A and B are shown apart, each in its own frame.
Chain A
Amino acid sequence: MRLAAPLAAAFIVLAGSAQGADASRGEQLYSRCAACHALAADRVGPRHCGLLGRRAGSVPGFFYTDEMKSSKLVWDEKTLDRFLAKPMAVVPGTSMTYDGVPTAQDRADLIAYLRKAGSAPECQRP
């Protein structure tokens, strides 16, 4: 039986690493995060402006779990790729109770967007 392509995409966790990363596709994918995150505002989750290069759990005034604060992660392509694949496995006890982004390409595109968004006008305001 032939499995329809979208079905396969939805249900098969793709292994392996991503090809080139596409920030504009990442911006579309970021809608998955929109219940909890924004670039410039702390919501259920912390703001994402300035994410790349910052220590996990370090936005002043945001109420992180102790587990996130003591995770000793610094957010870069590698750590984000690991965390976004399985947040609760990488930081057990995190309040980001989200199963994750299973596809490597999707994660790469999301991370490319998050990096690019760091220099967006929204993130330049004081």
Chain B
Amino acid sequence: MSFLTLATPAAARRLFLGQSGLMLSGAAIALLAGDDALAAKTQGGTATDIRILNTALGAELEAIAAYQLGAESKLLQKPMLDLAVTFQGHHKEHADVLASTVRKLGGKPVVAKAKYDFPVGQLTSQADVLQFAAKLEQGAVSAYLGAVPLFGNRDLAKAAASILGDEAMHWAVLRQALGEVPVPSAFMA
């Protein structure tokens, strides 16, 4: 599936439900333009859009690996473990849709690194793992915020904003779990 492939809402819905058993995501709903419309809209800025998507994809792939590390660390107890697995699932969905959109635009999606250099030595408690995840999610919100105005194709900007919203929720929930003020300010930067 990609942000850009699905011809009709019904087709999108069937495909999405078939793949994940979940509700159709907002991003997919938002991006139901046909291929021709896409091609017309992305004239000129396509190479830049591919680059933005690939940088975001690289960060999503790292987040998936980070949650994997957290889930396997034996430091997370339920319900935090379930939460981490759920959030990891969201990042996998983000990565899938970013990769297929890159392909759709004629680019080559980046792949996960063989090894990530995580600060494993500093993760010795559940709170450490949650703090580590919260930092990544906060950074991801800032990163998407910094990507939104750069897209040539406004549908892609909308899709990035949709992912941003999801990652902001992760960040707030992780802060809440850590006993911090869940939403520390009215604006993100």
Q: B-contacting residues of A (Cβ < 8 Å)?
A: 6-7, 10, 31-36, 38, 41-44, 88, 93, 95-100
Bound complex: CA of A36 vs CA of B143, how far in Å? Answer: 8
Determine how close the nearest CB of chain A comes to the CB of B164; give it in whole angstroms: 11
Q: Is the CB of B136 within 8 A of A10?
A: no
Bound complex: CA of A32 vs CA of B118, how far in Å? Answer: 18
Contacts of B135 in A (CB 8 A): 31, 34
Number of interface residues of B (CB under 8 A): 30
Contacts of B55 in A (CB 8 A): 36, 44, 95-97
Q: A-contacting residues of B (Cβ < 8 Å)?
A: 48, 51-52, 54-56, 58-59, 62, 116-119, 135-136, 138-140, 142-143, 145-150, 185-187, 189
Q: Is the CB of A34 within 8 A of B54?
A: no
Q: Is the CB of A42 within 8 A of B150?
A: no
Q: Is the CB of A44 within 8 A of B62?
A: yes
Q: Which secondary structure dominates where chain B touches chain A?
A: helix
Bound complex: CA of A91 vs CA of B52, how far in Å? Answer: 14
Bound complex: CA of A17 vs CA of B168, how far in Å? Answer: 32
Pick the contact of B139: A7, A33, A97 (CB < 8 A): A33
> Which are the 7 A-B pairs with shortest beta-carbon distances?
A34-B139, A35-B139, A35-B143, A41-B117, A98-B146, A32-B142, A97-B52
Q: Is the CB of B139 within 8 A of A32?
A: yes
Contacts of B116 in A (CB 8 A): 43
Determine how close the nearest CB of chain A comes to the CB of B170; give it in whole angstroms: 12
Contacts of B119 in A (CB 8 A): 38, 41
Determine how close the nearest CB of chain B comes to the CB of A43; give it in whole angstroms: 6
Task: Pull 5 A–B residue pairs with CB atoms less than 8 Å apart, ordered by A.
Answer: A6-B186, A36-B143, A44-B59, A93-B51, A95-B51
Bound complex: CA of A88 vs CA of B117, how far in Å? Answer: 27
Determine how close the nearest CB of chain A comes to the CB of B162; give it in whole angstroms: 17
In the complex, which of the residues A10, A95, A98 has the most CB atoms of chain B within 10 Å of its own CB atom? Answer: A98
Q: Is the CB of B136 within 8 A of A34?
A: yes
Determine how close the nearest CB of chain B comes to the CB of A23; give it in whole angstroms: 18
Say yes or no: A31-B150 contact (C-beta < 8 A), given A42-B117, A44-B59, A95-B51: no
Pick the contact of B117: A6, A32, A36, A43 (CB < 8 A): A43
Pick the contact of A43: B62, B142, B147 (CB < 8 A): B62
Contacts of A35 in B (CB 8 A): 59, 136, 139-140, 142-143
